[in-house]
Chains A and B, each alone.
Chain A
Amino acid sequence: MAKSRRTSSKRARGAGPTGSHRPLWSGTLAFGLVTLPVDLYTTTRSAGASLRMIDEDGTPLKRRYVCQRDEELLEADDIVRGYPIGDDEFVMIEDDELDALDPERSSVIDLETFVPAEDVDPSYIENTYVLVPNPDANTAYRLLVTSMAEAGRAGIATFVMRGKSYVVAIISRDGTLRAATLRYHDELRSPDDVGLPELQTADVDEVKRYEKAMARLTEDELDPAELRDRGSERLRKVAKRKLAKGRDVHTVAEDEVEPDDGPAMDIMELLRQSLGEKTVEA
């Protein structure tokens, strides 16, 4: 019975505005006494997703789990988290037990403090997401987007997502609210932890020479071309060449290719729908 409840709640969560993509977290954004129901979506994917595992016949393979005891193929609902307490002994932990440890922060991101946006140190950033409001929170969302951008400040909060607690920075950028989960202070080593030497003064003329070299390379904007994945580009080129020659080409049905473990490509569409370019007033 407990199991079927889990399954149904998962399905309900999966039915987003486009029905195609599941938010990583759903809850409430709180700003003073103003509350906005929001969904949190990823907008990045991990690199190297372009190469697929295939079998010798060219069939794309899927990553699945089997039980180590009998090699039985398992579904997502057959799997639970376990914490090792001895040799081959584990305590099973259910997701809703983890949520119950801090129900408030499992369901609410409370913007307690607003800090200068440029002070959010990038080395703390673990992952970034975009917040999509429920249609009835549309106006409050845009109010936050506007007033946070005008103040040049990011909201800092703590919340719990998927059994882990995060410090999170909520940042207003290009008309949307972004969430950046931050590493805890003790998860970022100090120069001392690493054993870096004590800083020493440098020769003034040499510093000037370095500064000159830096000045010559200084630009206003980031060049996306410099962030190209050249490995993927080489791969694409080789694949294209082989395709043209008809070498090692296999036909695959679209549903055979497992989607990337990344964001929905229609995240913009989702935002537009949700943010009023198309919606009716709530």
Chain B
Amino acid sequence: MSARAVWRGVIELGPSSSKVSVPVKLYTAVEDKSVSFRLLHRADGVPVRQVLVNPKTKEVVEYADSERGFVTGEGELVSLDADELEALEPEPSRTIEVLRFLQPGTIEHRWYQRPYYLGPDGDDDAYFTLTAALGREKLEGVARWVMRDKEYVGALRLHHGYPMLVTLRYAEDVVPLDEVGPARDATLDDTQVAMAGQLITMLAGEFEPQTYQDEYRAAVLDLIEKKRRGSTIKRAKPRARKATSDLSAALEKSLKQETKSGAGKGAARSSGPRSGSRG
């Protein structure tokens, strides 16, 4: 069973004299499995509908009747008509232009958005060559393309050995987080830093996402079933949030506890969920 491609394009890299071209199909790699709800009006249990409202008159404006405007900043707004909006759309193109390659880890986690698998589109040789080259060089590409009237930037990388494009956010959509200082000032105790480092080492493991199951998903469906049958449901009480006052003592106790629970286990732990409770 194979999935339907969402788009077809051609990966291109290098100058025209020695250009590499790889025709590919894009397949969505994500399958959302969370329980999806409708929004209801609490008073009568009827589904709600999203509308546009003029905040001054409280009048509902149908989506089809709404226009588009751009706030220019100084309390002014410029409206644009359909022709002007169409002129803003990017030129359609099949090219996925690779702009540069980077060492893995150069792109900060905050940029990544949505992964698409790449499959071959008529030229298997080029596809398998690209896959082999990406695997040998262990580099991540930054690519740009236009898909369905929208411009995308994405990271070209391998996933389970197959090429993938992970869309990236635009620069203006990621709030800059500058270095916050002082990163290490006089109040940071060397002994505490050492103990924290030791505890991290004791808790070290591998990234193994396959070991996590969404048990909560099943619990939500179970809750729905219980409510459908009319059972009364427990409500959560807000929990007290307390900061550790004696850091050294808490770290020391944590290290002792880990030494005890880790004794005899031997092998490195995995990132999988662990039973047992915190004291």
Contact = CB atoms under 8 A, between A and B. Distances in A.
Contacts of A212: 18
Chain A binding surface SS class:
mixed
Contacts of A49: 173
A188 B30 contact: yes
Contact of A37 (B131, B175, B219, B243): B243
Contacts of A200: 124, 128
Contacts, number: 575
Interface residues of B, number: 179
A227 B111 contact: yes
A91 B231 CA distance: 12
B220 to A, nearest CB: 7
B238 A194 contact: no
B181 A277 contact: yes
B13 A79 contact: no
Contacts of B228: 85, 91
9 contacts: A31-B199, A66-B48, A83-B38, A112-B273, A118-B105, A123-B29, A202-B132, A227-B153, A271-B180
Chain A interface size range:
35 or more
A197 B210 CA distance: 23
Interface string A241-280: 0110001111111101100001101011001100111000
Given A34-B244, A123-B115, A201 B128 contact: yes
A219 B101 contact: yes
A213 B242 CA distance: 55
A119 B109 CA distance: 11
Interface string A50-92: 1111111011111111111101111001111111110000111
A44 interface: yes
A218 interface: yes
Interface in B127-153: 128-134, 136-137, 139, 141-142, 144, 150-151, 153
B38 A81 contact: yes
A160 interface: yes
Contact of B77 (A169, A220, A250): A250
A235 B70 CA distance: 8
B197 A147 contact: yes
Interface string B1-43: 1110000000001100011100000011111111101111111
